[in-house]
Amino acid sequence: MAYAKQILALAGIGDAPRLKKAFATVPRERFIGPPPWQISRPPLGYVTLPSTDPVVVYQDVLLALSPERGVNNGSPSLHAQWLHTLSPREGDRVVHIGAGTGYYTALLAHLVGESGHVLAVEYDPDLVEQAKKNLSEFPYVTVIQGDGADWPQEEADRIYVNFSVVRPADAWIGKLRSGGRLVLPLGVPRPKATARGGRHALHGAGFCFEREGERIHARWIGPAYFICAEGRLAGANDEAERLKDSFERGGVEFVRSLVRGPPAAPQRCWFVGAGWALSFDEAVG
C-alpha cells in the first residue's frame, strides 16, 4: 500500500481508492521477468539493479522489458495520472493498445472488474506470450497479437494507447462510444535510436479525447516521451514534419478538440493533418 500511496502522490492524485487498490494489489515484479532487472536512466541508457529483492522494483522508474528495442514497463506515476484521466468504470469494455507484458493491463482489469472486459493488443509475439501467462488469472482479459491500428473492431468505452503515434488510428476514433475516452501519446520520432534502444519521441504530449456524439473534445495531459510506433501508425514523413513544427511553435496545452475531415478554420488549429486536425476551439457538431 505504501507504493500505491507514493505513486498516486507523485501523480498529484488525491482521493482515488479504486486506483490506489489496483496499484497495491498487482505485483509489478511478475510482469518484468526474472532478475537481474534493468532501469532506464537517460542519457546513460540502461543500468542494472544490483539487488534481486523485488522491493527494488517498487520505485517510480522505467524497467526494461526489451532493452534492445527500448521497450519498457513505464513510469508508474505517469500511468497513474493517465489511468486517472482515462477513468475506467466497473463493467467497461477497455482496449489496451501496446500492452507489453501486461502490467498496466492488469491494473485496468482491476478497475473494470469481472463485469467488464479488457482487450490487450501487442504487436511483439514474445511479449504477447508473456502477457498471456501473466494475465491468465483474469478470465475477463483477452490478449491478442496484432497491429494496434486494426483495433478495436467493436465499440469500446475506453481505449488506452502506450506507444507514441503521429496520428490516432481511425479505429480508435471510429469505435469509441459516445461518452468514451481515448488516452494516447502523440509524438514525433527522434531521427535515430538512442542509448535506450528504439526510437523515442523527440517531442511528445499526452492527450485525452472524449467523444460526445460526433463531437470529440481534447485535453492535453502533459509531456510524454514514449517509444514510437512503426509501420502504419508511424505516420507519413511529411505529417511528422508538420507535427514537429507544431510542437516547436508551442501552444499544445491549449488544444480543445479533434476535428475530422477538412477543418473549418485552419488558422484556429494547432495542427492540421491529412483528414484531421487539433483545434484551439471547443468541439462543435
Cell output for 283? 468541439
Q: Across the beta sheet with 45-48, what order do the strands follow?
A: 45-48, 38-41, 63-66, 71-73
pLDDT confidence of residue 233: 80
Higher pLDDT, 199 or 170: 170
Catalytically active residues are 51
Number of CB atoms found within 10 A of residue 76's CB: 28
- pLDDT bracket for residue 229 (50, 70, 90): confident
For 170-192, how does the pLDDT look when each residue is reduced to its tens digit (9 = 90+)? Answer: 999 999 999 999 999 999 988 76
